[in-house]
C-alpha cells in the first residue's frame, strides 16, 4: 500500500502547489509559501511521519532531474549578451562584491569553526561549496519588497539575477574538483578536462536544440522539442554526475543569444517555473534526514547565517562608499533585502545530496535547509525593523 499512499501524497502536494492560489491571499506570499511546501515535505518524509516510501521517491527522481534542467534553462536564458551590455560597469562591480564578501566570510568562518568543533566533513571542497551557496539571493523577495524605484533597487534586482548565473557555474566548477568516479570512461579526468567535456556536451545539446527549431514549426511542436531537451539534459547531467542546472544553463545561454524562437521558449519555461520550483522544494523537505549530525547542523547553520549576513552587509557598505560615494550611515545598499536566499540553493543542495548520497552531503543539505529558513526569518525581521524606522 506504500506506493498508493505515496502517489496520493504526491497528488496532495500537486494540489498544494498548483491548486490553491488562495494560499497567497491568506498572506502566505513568496518565500512563505515555499517554506510551507518544504515543511509539508519534511513532515511527510522519512524523518517525521515517514509516509512516503523512499523507493517510490527514487522512482520519481527523473521528474526532479527534469525540473532542475527546466530551471537551469531558465537561468541560462537570463544571460543575454545584448541585454547585459546595456548595464553599466557598476552593476557588475556590485554583483562581484555581492559574491566575493559572503563567499570569503562564510568560507573562513566555517573553516575556523571546524578547527574548534567537529564537523562531518571530509571533502576539502565542501566548505567551498557551502561558501558558494551563500552568495545566492532571493530575486522574488527583492521584487516583492523593494518598493523604491531608485538606483539601489536596480542594483539589487540585477545582482540577484546575475549572481545565480555565476553561482551555478562556480558550484559546478567546485564539484569538478571532487568529481565522483565515473564509469563511463576508462581513465580519470582532471577537473579542467571535466569542465571542457561538459561545456562541449552542453554546447552540442544547445546547437542541436537551435537547429532542430530553425524550420517553421507550430507552437505545440516547439513545446515537444522543449520537453524532449529538458529530459535529455536531465538524463545526461545525471549520468555525468553534474547538476542539470549547469548543463541547462549552458543550453539556455545559447538559446537566448542564438535562437530565433527564444521568446516562445522563454514563455513556456516561465510557465513551468513555479510548479518546478515547488516540486523541488517539496522533495527537498521529503528527503532531508537530519540524522546523527542534527545538533552540529544547527550550530553550523547559525555560523553560516551570521557570516553570510555580515558578508552581505560588508559588500553593501563597501559598494556604497566606494562607488556611490554615500558617506552617511553604513547601510548604503538595502542589504536587508539580500538576506533571504533563493530556492536555487536548495535545488543545488538536494542535487548534491543525490549525487553523493552520503553523510557529508546530507550534512550540507541540513545546513542549507536550516539556513534557508533562518535567513528568511532574519530577512523578514530586519525588514519589519527597517519599516518601523522609516
Partner 1 sequence: MIKNLLFVLLFLFIFILLVSFMMLPQLSSLNAAGRFTMLSGFALLSAFIGGKLFSRFGFPKIVGYLVVGILYGPSVLKIFNHSDISNLNFVVQVSLGLIAVSAGSELKISEIKKTIGTVIKVISVHLAILPIVLGSLSFVLLKYYFSFTGGEIIIVSVLMGLVLTTASPAVPMAMISEFNLEGIFPRLTITILVIRDILIILFFSLILSISNNPENAWMPLVKISLSIGIGLLLGYLFSKFVSVFNSNSELFLIVFLLLIYKISIDLNFDYLILTLSIGFAIENYSTMGEKFLNIINQSSMPLYALFFSLAGASLEIDALHGIGFIALLIVIVRIVFLYISTYLPMKTVKTELNLKHYLFAGFVPQAGVSIGLALLLVNGFPQYKIIGELIIASAVFNEIIGPFIFKFAINQYNNEVN
Kindly tell me which residue out of 230, 255, 287, 364 binds partner 1, with binding defined by CB under 8 A.
230
- Cβ proximity to partner 1: between 282 and 313 the closer is 282
- Binding of residue 169 to partner 1 (CB under 8 A): no
User: Is 238 among the residues that bind partner 1 (CB under 8 A)?
Assistant: yes
Among positions 173, 203, 212, 268, the unique one binding partner 1 when judged by CB under 8 A: 212
Q: Is 229 in the site for partner 1 (CB under 8 A)?
A: yes
Q: Work out how close the CB of 229 gets to partner 1 at its nearest, in angstroms, rounded to a whole number.
A: 7
Residue number, 354 or 374, with CB nearest to partner 1: 354
Answer for which of 72, 234, 285, 290 binds partner 1 (CB under 8 A) is 234
Nearer to partner 1, 183 or 260 (CB): 183
SS (H, E, C) the chain: CHHHHHHHHHHHHHHHHHHCCHHHHCCCCHHHHHHHHHHHHHHHCCCCCCCCCHHHHHHCHHHHHHHHHHHHHHHHHCCCHHHHHCCCHHHHHHHHHHHHHHHHHHHHHHHHHHHHCCCCCCCCCHHHHHHHHCCCCCHHHHHHHCCCCCHHHHHHHHHHHHHHHHHHHHHHHHHHHCCCCCCCCCCCCCHHHHHHHHHHHHHHHHHHHHHHCCCCCCHHHHHHHHHHHHHHHHHHHHHCCCCHHHHHHHHHHHHHHHCCCHHHHHHHHHHCHHHHHHHHHHHHHHHCCCHHHHHHHHHHHHHHHHHHHHHHHHHHHHHHHHCCCCCCCCCCCCHHHHCCCCCHHHHHHHHHHHHHCCHHHHHHHHHHHHHHHHHHHHHHHHHHHHHHHC
- 51 part of the interface to partner 1, by CB under 8 A: no
Asked if 96 touches partner 1 (CB under 8 A), the answer is: no
Contact pick of 88, 221, 292, 358 for partner 1 (by CB under 8 A): 221
Residues forming contacts to partner 1 in the complex (CB under 8 A) are: 3-4, 7-8, 10-11, 14-15, 18-20, 58, 61-62, 65-66, 183-185, 208, 211-212, 214-215, 220-221, 223-225, 227-239, 275
Amino acid at each position: 500500500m506504500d506506493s498508493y499512499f505515496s502517489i496520493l501524497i504526491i497528488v496532495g502536494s500537486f494540489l498544494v502547489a498548483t491548486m490553491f492560489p488562495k494560499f497567497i491571499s491568506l498572506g502566505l506570499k513568496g518565500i512563505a509559501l515555499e517554506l510551507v511546501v518544504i515543511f509539508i515535505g519534511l513532515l511527510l518524509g522519512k524523518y517525521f511521519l515517514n509516509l512516503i516510501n523512499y523507493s517510490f521517491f527514487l522512482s520519481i527522481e527523473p521528474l526532479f532531474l527534469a525540473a532542475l534542467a527546466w530551471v537551469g534553462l531558465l537561468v541560462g536564458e537570463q544571460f543575454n549578451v545584448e541585454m547585459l551590455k546595456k548595464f553599466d560597469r557598476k552593476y557588475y562591480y556590485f554583483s562581484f562584491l555581492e559574491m566575493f564578501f559572503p563567499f570569503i566570510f562564510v568560507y573562513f568562518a566555517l573553516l575556523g569553526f571546524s578547527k574548534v568543533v567537529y564537523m562531518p566533513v571530509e571533502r576539502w571542497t565542501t566548505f567551498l561549496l557551502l561558501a558558494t551557496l551563500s552568495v545566492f539571493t532571493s530575486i522574488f523577495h527583492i521584487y516583492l519588497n523593494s518598493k523604491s524605484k531608485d538606483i539601489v533597487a536596480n542594483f539589487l534586482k540585477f545582482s540577484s539575477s546575475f549572481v545565480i548565473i555565476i553561482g551555478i557555474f562556480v558550484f559546478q566548477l567546485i564539484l569538478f574538483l571532487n568529481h565522483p568516479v565515473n564509469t563511463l570512461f576508462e581513465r580519470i579526468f582532471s577537473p579542467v578536462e571535466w569542465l571542457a567535456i561538459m561545456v562541449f556536451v552542453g554546447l552540442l545539446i544547445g546547437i542541436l536544440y537551435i537547429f532542430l527549431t530553425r524550420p517553421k514549426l507550430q507552437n505545440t511542436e516547439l513545446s515537444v522539442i522543449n520537453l524532449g531537451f529538458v529530459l535529455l539534459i536531465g538524463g545526461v547531467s545525471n549520468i555525468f554526475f553534474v547538476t542539470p542546472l549547469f548543463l541547462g544553463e549552458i543550453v539556455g545561454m545559447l538559446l537566448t543569444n542564438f535562437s530565433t524562437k527564444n521568446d516562445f521558449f522563454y514563455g513556456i519555461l516561465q510557465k513551468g517555473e513555479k510548479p518546478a520550483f515547488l516540486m523541488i522544494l517539496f522533495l527537498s523537505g521529503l528527503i532531508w534526514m537530519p540524522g546523527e549530525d542534527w545538533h552540529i547542523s544547527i550550530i553550523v547553520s547559525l555560523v553560516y547565517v551570521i557570516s553570510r549576513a555580515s558578508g552581505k552587509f560588508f559588500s553593501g557598505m563597501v559598494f556604497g562608499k566606494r562607488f556611490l560615494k554615500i558617506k552617511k550611515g553604513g547601510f548604503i545598499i538595502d542589504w536587508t533585502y539580500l538576506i533571504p536566499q533563493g530556492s536555487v540553493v536548495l535545488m543545488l543542495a538536494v542535487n548534491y545530496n543525490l549525487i553523493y548520497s552520503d553523510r557529508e552531503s546530507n550534512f550540507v543539505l541540513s545546513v542549507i535547509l536550516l539556513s534557508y529558513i533562518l535567513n528568511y526569518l532574519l530577512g523578514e525581521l530586519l525588514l519589519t525593523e527597517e519599516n518601523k524606522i522609516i
